[in-house]
Amino acid sequence: MIKVIIVDDEPPSLDRLEKLINNSGQALVAGKFTESLSALRFLQENRINTVFLDIEMPDMNGIELATRILDLQDHIDVVFVTAYNQYAVEAFRLHALDYLMKPVAADRLRETLCRIIEKKGSAPSGELSVRCFGRFSVCVGSEEVRFRTEKAEELLAYLINNRGSFVSRSKILDSLWEDFEGDRAITHFNTTLHYVKKALLRYGVQLPVQYDRGSYRLGTDGLRCDYLAFCCAAEKHEIINAENLCRFEEAADVYAGEYLLGWEYSWAAAKRVILEEQYIRLLLDLASCYQKAGNYQRAVQWLEKGLLYEPLHRELNYRLVEVLLLAHNRAVAVKYYELYRQGLMKRLGTEPDEEFRKLLK
């Protein structure tokens, strides 16, 4: 069972989260603290798996505390708990596993705990696994790899982004070291590649980078990676049916957040848009499959997932209202229609199109 501690300067929030965690059956609270220094003293003598941190605290904010905690025990998974989602990007930059919005919901907490359990126990020892959706992370077995520099992390992400294809060194330099020229850029590349290899060698993993006539590629055979798995399924031009449904649902499930969330890599911007479009199309196809089978509840669930990323997406909203009406749930259909209409008016100053309006007549 996962051992966790909680740090929050508000006792009611502390007690509520403790109760939710202990009731989950997946984790046990080994300590709870209203002061950051007390938590640090506890961690000097006790080994735990995860820490849940409030960000807004008077003596030391959660982001600063997370840095000091990782200096003490770098294996710890950090989960931020906050009432302000603008902290999310900074949280992921600090290698937080996840963040929860107050008040914490039991089902959302369960998702986080499942992610921690999967990260720590699902990968066989020595296996390299990479997560690109949400915060970028690299694990060997149950241990997360720590890189010496952010550029080393970016270089590995860039090589994975190319999905096993060769890419010229000049293109790599232009993408990652555009501010440097000539030998300086080459020196930075060589040093950074060395850092990547060295970081993985500490865990007994030889980075499978191949060089051929001025180009490099990262071998992906045997690499567990959510991005590679998603692309493999999303790019197949198959009609979803009962026989392949599970495979496509698994692909949709690995999209656990925006591609390389928190990192503004210029080379990833276009890919981020493409992947989100593929994800939404996949959700629409899954919803269609369930709608045809008469399982309107499951169709609604997939469509609602898409609205988390594109709340004003016309087809997602249209299909959601349509399915709710088919399920004889007009009240909820009207609610979603009004949310869509208000969003359009606020952002674009327009109303839903005539075809959409006719749905509710």
- Structural domains of the chain ordered from first start: 2-121 (3.40.50.2300), 124-265 (1.10.10.10)
CB-based contact 312:324 (threshold 8 Å): no
Confidence bin at 95 (pLDDT 50/70/90): low
In the predicted structure, residue 323 carries a pLDDT above the cut 70: yes
In whole angstroms, give the CA distance from residue 113 to residue 98: 10
Confidence bin at 123 (pLDDT 50/70/90): very low
Task: Give the closest residue to 24 by CA, choosing from 92, 99, 115.
Answer: 115
- Provide mean pLDDT across the span 7-27: 89
**pLDDT value of position 153:** 95
In the predicted structure, residue 64 carries a pLDDT above the cut 90: no
Question: What's the whole-model pTM score?
Answer: 0.65
Which tens digit of pLDDT belongs to each residue from 230-261?
A: 998 888 878 998 888 988 999 999 998 999 99
In the predicted structure, residue 301 carries a pLDDT above the cut 60: yes
In whole angstroms, give the CA distance from residue 69 to residue 218: 33
Please report, to the nearest 10 degrees, the dihedral formed by the alpha carbons of residues 35, 40, 45, 51 taken in order.
90
**pLDDT value of position 204:** 78
CB-based contact 52:17 (threshold 8 Å): yes
In the predicted structure, residue 122 carries a pLDDT above the cut 50: no
In whole angstroms, give the CA distance from residue 80 to residue 52: 6
CB-based contact 289:238 (threshold 8 Å): no
**pLDDT value of position 71:** 83
